[in-house]
Amino acid sequence: MKNNPPRLAQRFFSWYCRNHLHDSILGDLEEQFYQNQLKHGTRRAKLLYWLGVFQFINRFTLKRDHYSTSYTFYSVSMIKNNIISSLRFLGRNKGFTAINLFGLTLGFSSFLLILFFVNHELSFEKFHKNKERIFRVNFSFQDNAGNVTTLVNSPPALAPGIREKFSELEKISRMRYAMNSLFSNGEIRFYEDHGYYADSLFLEILEFELSSGDPNTALDQPNSIVITEDMAIKYFNNSNPVGATLLFNNSVPLKVTGVLSPIPTNSHLNFNFLISFPTYSVPEGYASDLTSWGWLGFMTYVKLKPNADSKQFEKGLAQHFKDLNPEDLTPLLPRLQNLSDIYMGSDGMADDLASHIRAGNRFSVKALMIVALLILIVAGFNFSNLTHALSINRSKSTGVRKVLGANRKGILAQLLTESLILTFFCMVLSFGIVFLLFPSVSQYMKWEFDLRFMDILKLAPVLMIVGIFIGIISGLYPALTLARIDIIKSLKGTLKITSRNPLQLKNVLLLFQFAVSIGLICATIIMTKQIDYLRNKETGYNAENVVLIKMLPEDMSRYFEVYKERLIQNSAVLNVSRSDRVVGDPWPFGGIQRVDEDPEMSKRIFFNLADYNYFETMGIPLSSGRSFSKEHTNDSTQAIIINQQAATYLDLEDPIGKQVHFFELDGPRTIIGVVEDFNYSSLHQGIEPAVVILPFIDLEYMYVRMASGNPKAQIGILEDTWKQVAQSTPLEWRFLDDNLDRLYQSEERLSSMIQVFSVLAILLACLGLYGIVTFMVNNRVKELGIRKVLGASVHSLYTLFVKKYIYQALLAMVIILPVIHYLLNAWLKDFAYRIHINWWIYPVGTLLLIMMILITITFQILKAAQTNPTRLLRHE
Amino acid sequence: MRLHLGEFEEIVLLLVAVHHNDAYGLSIANSIKEKLNRKVTLSSVHTALYRLEEKGFVKSEIGGATKERGGRSKRLFKITSLGKQALEASRQSRNLLWDMIPRITFDGL
């Protein structure tokens, strides 16, 4: 054991006591230590010494001498001085400063844009009052095969049937999608498909704002309609047409009882009009009516009383459905979904009516948030690296500052002030840029929302914190480097800020930037490929050159036959048919079973109602049997066509001629044909068993297969013929493949965002690299000269410098590979049909980055390498 | 009030006067232990000294580095005239109070 006072205790004391008392106290302690050592022995003396050191912690020892800092760096004049010298320095390096500011502004702008998008995604339904008490009633049900389906829809009898029954209930309202609605005011006639029939209480549950009219009574009377301002102007050229009349479907006059303020874009419901519910009548031929407890064709919203237990209510509701038909073993299962959860939480739930409900995707919000953060980090690193590269130019002035008495803290303060000011400047600049660019960006990305001042204000504190954080963090590295420099070396001009250590921070930062860039490039490639794949995937039908025409059921029954007749005569028209549901929209389902099966064993099956020639028009090949034909008069009531999946599903080896129970109008139906599987819904889902029967109600969709040709000419034929048939009734047409594209809109939106931001990330990485290479070339000018004198060729010098960055890019690929592979697979999992991720994607992404790297640095290196060595070496 | 001394402060101040030319933290602490038989820590003596210096009763200067101090100099304290006044005031007030005690108080104690 050494006989000196414990070193650690001494250092601890020296650490906390830094003033004029330090020496005398430590002296006293040491003297006392030796006295104690004589009296009590070394061990005890050491203990007492430790004790003494702790006992000395008091206000006298903790106080710093005011003269230990020679000036305060936060005084006004010092800040002024710092700013002036920073500005002079930046002015002297205009090009570099511009690049640096550009990079940071770019980073901030992207961050802001994503932030606005994410903010909007997360703001859904926030504007509703009492949202924690408002629920939508969804229904789940199970068929005998155990398939569970959840629909956002509910039966029509629910709202009137339980209104009085539950004490938890404050208000309940149902709505029905008003699919194809033709409105007219005199000559102004349009089809509208964004609207609902709604119960009178609807506007008291979901309190959408009315700019005129009374929300409590607007929907009370039959034949009332509430429309948005946009629609009011469209039909009446007047934003307040309350009291005016709008003709609905050529026959029903509706009185405008209210005008809706624009529906916020952050609402899952997306409508232009609400018709009072009593106006609705069940179309002719439907198997159900409004007293049905099983027809899931409506939506029901409830508002519970304050403090009511929603779980209790859900249970009671489930019991209610059990009691309706005690013999049913698998009754409908009601599920409450809170309003705030609807937008993000409806994945996998179908809307039977495809009524333009907005649905979000948690994954893409998360992915974008990560991308935003990465871009911000990359921009910060960039700033760091560029500032660091510049700092070699100011090492002399820093040396002079130090000679004049600046200490580390002073230098740090100066540099951090500078980086904070620059960060804030960029922040303000990027706000301006985002404002200017927002309209075009949001159009490109298919965003639906506007930039609102309130949102910006709300995000301002977050942005302030981000700005300060980025300013300090990214300023710290260059500042610390400069604050540490050796005065003498810096003044002599022999200072080297580089080191050969590969783990030097700037190399790590660069590696990170490379990794992010490669990751985003690969993500872009995969997402683009996947969306292309979906677009071009064999769906089993041919949507090209098919025009989809929507019309009112009455018009369909009145005009279809004539129109078809006339069209067929034109050689450009190959086939005409119609159906109840369009491919791409969800199909309804019913129960099916073989005649030889127990009637209890009905299975769920998707179906469509389709007219003669449907399969021919859609280009769906029959694999056996025949399609519907007018020659067989029984087809409309007793025939059914199934797909191959359905044959397996029903366990039929030779299905033609077999009989099944399905929508019986006149006894069991005979299977007359089997069609090859085709994907009737979106490619997110696989092909499921489906059947098609001839319609027993009026249909709304008509298909015309045209010979390939100029789309304008094709539509011309359709419109001209339509005018001869139906005179003034407007024709609502769309190409089927355009109609299908909207199925993949949210994927495309995500993909286009990722695309844009990956380009930005690469740009940022290249900017950073540019800075680093400039710095390195400046630093190694003499080395270059000497190498040249000793006989190095331009080529060998070039490889010498470039090699390192290529290795770094490769290393970055290795690092990012597992991460990006995992994330992309997680994204692809959502699709039933997906591409396989080829391993070569990653090297290709890396190669792209390497190419960008070479483009960025080649010029600079060649310039230095081609300079006459005498000029490089002449300096001293 | 300016001349007020706490009990411990008074002892330390008296000892500064006692140790003429060699009054520093440790010497005073040792004296308190040996002469007055009181337990005291070095830091409390120092604190008292600094407080006295703040009040202007003592002043300090650097000096007297020795080997057993690791070559560190001592902070030597000297009493000031204000300090002397404070001691005197304290002594007077005590004397005054002693004189006021009636003899009968101590009878039978």
Q: Give per-residue pLDDT as tens, A827-836.
A: 888 777 888 8
ipTM of the complex: 0.90
pLDDT: which is higher, A143 or A718 = A718
Query: Which pLDDT band, with edges at 50, 70 and 90, does A231 fall under?
Result: very high
**Residue A305: count of CB within 10 angstroms of its CB:** 14
What is the distance between the alpha carbons of residues B59 and A401, in angstroms, rounded to a whole number?
Answer: 38
Closest partner CB to A23 (pick from B29, B47, B72):
B72
Who has greater pLDDT, A106 or A683? A106
**How does the average pLDDT of chain A come out, rounded?**
84
**H or E stretch at A722:** helix A711-726
State the pairing for strand pair A690-693/A603-609: parallel
Q: Which residue has the tokens 């066509």?
A: A641
Compute the nearest-CA separation of B51 from chain A (Å): 9
B47 interaction partners in chain A (CB closer than 8 Å): 58, 60
Tell me: pLDDT of A73 over 60.
no
Q: Which residues of A803-834 are buried (b: 16+ CB within 10 A; e: fewer)?
A: eebeebbbebbeebbeebbebbeebbeebebb
> What six digits make up the tokens of A196?
């609902």
Architecture of the domain defined by B7-101: Orthogonal Bundle (1.10)
Chain B residues whose C-beta sits inside 8 Å of any chain A C-beta: 24-26, 29-30, 41-44, 46-47, 50, 62, 65-66, 68-70, 72-75
The share of chain A scoring above pLDDT 70, in percent, equals 96
pLDDT at position A876, please?
Answer: 53
Q: Which residues of B touch A51 (CB under 8 A)?
A: 41
CB spacing of A60 vs B68 below 8 angstroms: no
Q: Are A736 and A543 in contact (CB under 8 A)?
A: yes
Q: Are A415 and A482 in contact (CB under 8 A)?
A: yes
Whether B26 sits inside 8 A of A23 (CB atoms) is no
- Rounded CA separation A295/A724 (Å): 39
| Least Cα separation, residue A402 to chain B (angstroms) | 30
pLDDT tens-digit readout, A81-108: 888 888 888 888 888 888 888 888 988 9
CB contact under 8 A, A30 and B62: no
> Alpha carbon A264 to chain centroid distance?
18
Identify which of A173, A196, A209 has the alpha carbon closest to the alpha carbon of residue A279: A196
pLDDT confidence of residue A499: 55
Q: How many angstroms separate the CA of residue B78 from the nearest CA in chain A? A: 15
Highest mean pLDDT among A262-276, A379-393, A409-423, A673-687: A262-276
> How far does B17 lie from chain A, in Å, by closest CA?
19
DSSP designation for A55: H
Q: State the Cα–Cα distance between residues A343 and A172, nearest whole angstrom.
A: 20
The answer, yes or no, to whether residue A111 has pLDDT greater than 80, is yes
Coil, strand or helix: which one is A539?
Answer: coil
Kindly state the greatest CA–CA separation across chain B. 58
CB A28 to CB B50 under 8 A?
A: no
| Average pLDDT of the residues in A272-277 | 93
pLDDT at A541: 84
Nearest to A27 among B29, B50, B72 (CB): B72
Cα torsion A99, A100, A104, A105: sign: negative
Give the span between the Cα atoms of A115 and A260, in whole angstroms: 29
Per-residue confidence band for A304, with pLDDT thresholds at 50, 70 and 90: very high
The pLDDT of residue A71 is: 46
pLDDT tens-digit map of A363-373:
888 888 888 88
* Nearest chain A residue (CA) to B43: A56
What is the reported pLDDT for A555? 83
**Average pLDDT value for residue range A27-47:** 90
* B29–A24 CB contact, under 8 Å: no
The Cα-based distances of A836 to A93, A540, B2 in angstroms read 49, 21, 89
Nearest partner of B19 among B85, B54, B51, B64, judged by Cα:
B64
pLDDT tens digits, A481-534:
887 777 777 777 666 655 555 557 778 888 888 888 888 888 888 888 888 887
Name every chain A residue with its beta carbon within 8 A of the beta carbon of B50: 21, 60
For A54, the closest chain B residue by CA position comes to: B43
DSSP A333: E
Residues in chain A: 876
Task: Say whether A58 and B29 touch across the interface (CB within 8 A).
Answer: no
CA dihedral A369, A372, A373, A376 (to 10 degrees): -170
Which one, of B4, B52, B2, lies nearest residue B28 by Cα?
B52
Nearest CB partner across the interface for B43, out of A30, A35, A55: A55
User: Taking the CA of residue A264 as centre, how many other CA atoms within 13 Å lie in the half-sphere pointing to its CB?
Assistant: 17
Contacts of A63 in chain B (CB under 8 A): none
What pLDDT was estimated at residue A137?
93
Burial of A203 (C-beta count, 10 Å sphere; 0-12/13-18/19+) = buried
Q: What is the DSSP string of A83-104?
A: HHHHHHHHHHTHHHHHHHHHHH
Can you tell me the distance from the alpha carbon of A201 to that of A222, in angstroms, rounded to the nearest whole number?
A: 14
Percent of chain A with pLDDT over 90: 12
CA of B52 to nearest chain A CA: how many angstroms apart? Answer: 12
- d(CA A817, CA B42) in angstroms, rounded, equals 64
CB contact under 8 A, A21 and B75: yes
Q: Which of A28, A30, A34, A65 to mutate to test the interface with B (most CBs of B within 10 A)?
A: A28
B29 neighbourhood in chain A, CB within 8 Å: 32
- pLDDT value at position A251? 86
Burial class (CB in 10 A: 0-12, 13-18, 19+), A862: middle
- Cα A50 to chain centroid, rounded: 60
Q: Measured between CB atoms, which of B44, B47, B74 is closest to A24?
A: B74
pLDDT, residue B12, reads 94
Q: CB A31 to CB B65 under 8 A?
A: no
Q: What angle do CA B96, B100, B101 make, to 5 degrees?
A: 125
> Which residues is A661 bridged to in the sheet?
A593
Nearest to B69 among A27, A56, A58 (CB): A27
CB contact under 8 A, B68 and A31: yes
Please tell me if residue A26 touches chain B, with a CB cutoff of 8 Å.
Answer: yes
The residue ranges of every structural domain in chain A are: 7-68, 131-342, 362-496+503-534+744-873, 552-730
Between B24, B43, B69, which is nearest A52 by CB? B43
Q: How confident is the model at residue A70 (pLDDT cuts 50, 70, 90)?
A: very low
The residues pairing with A154 across neighbouring beta strands, listed in sequence order, are A298
Closest by CA to A424, choosing from A465, A480, A377, A374, is A465
Inter-chain residue contact A60 with B50, CB threshold 8 Å: yes
- Smallest CA–CA distance, residue A385 to chain B, in Å, is 47
In Å, how far are A147, A300, A400, A597 from A330, measured between CA atoms? 11, 21, 86, 18
Nearest chain A residue to B49 by CA distance is A60
d(CA B15, CA A853): 78
Which residues pair with residue A550 across a beta bridge? A701, A732
B62: closest chain A residue by CA: A24
- Indicate yes or no: CB of B46 within 8 angstroms of CB of A28: yes
Report CB contact under 8 Å: B74, A26: no
H/E stretch holding A786 reads helix A781-789
Question: In this model, does residue B96 exceed pLDDT 90?
Answer: yes
> At residue A872, does pLDDT exceed 80?
no
Testing the interface with A: which of B49, B66, B69 to mutate, by most A Cβ within 10 A?
Answer: B69
Q: Among A496-505, A591-600, B49-58, where is mean pLDDT lowest?
A: A496-505
Report chain A residues whose CB lies below 8 A from the CB of B68.
30-31, 34
Q: How far away is chain B from the Cα of A403, in angstroms, using its nearest Cα?
A: 30
Q: How many CB pairs under 8 A join A and B?
A: 62
- Residue keyed to tokens 């790297």: A853
Min CA distance, B90 vs chain A (Å)? 26
Query: Within an 8 Å CB–CB cutoff, is residue A432 touching chain B?
Result: no
* Interface touch A27/B41, C-beta < 8 Å: no
- pLDDT beyond 60 at B59: yes
Cα gap B105→A44, rounded to integer Å = 48
Q: Which pair of tokens denotes residue A604?
A: 């769920």
Residues 6+ apart with CB under 8 A from A326: none
- Mean pLDDT across A833-861: 85
Give chain B positions within 8 Å (CB) of A38: none
Please report the pLDDT score of residue A195 as a whole number.
92
- Which residues between 30 and 59 in chain A have a beta carbon less than 8 angstroms from any beta carbon of chain B? 30-32, 34-35, 51-52, 55-56, 58
Give the C-alpha separation, A752 to A382, whole Å: 24
pLDDT above 90: residue B49: yes
Helix (H), strand (E) at residue A487: helix A487-492
Cβ pair B44:A55 closer than 8 A: yes
Those residues whose C-beta lies under 8 Å from the C-beta of residue A797, and which sit 6 or more positions away, are A784, A787, A788, A861, A865
Put simply, the answer to whether A52 touches B41 (Cβ < 8 Å) is yes
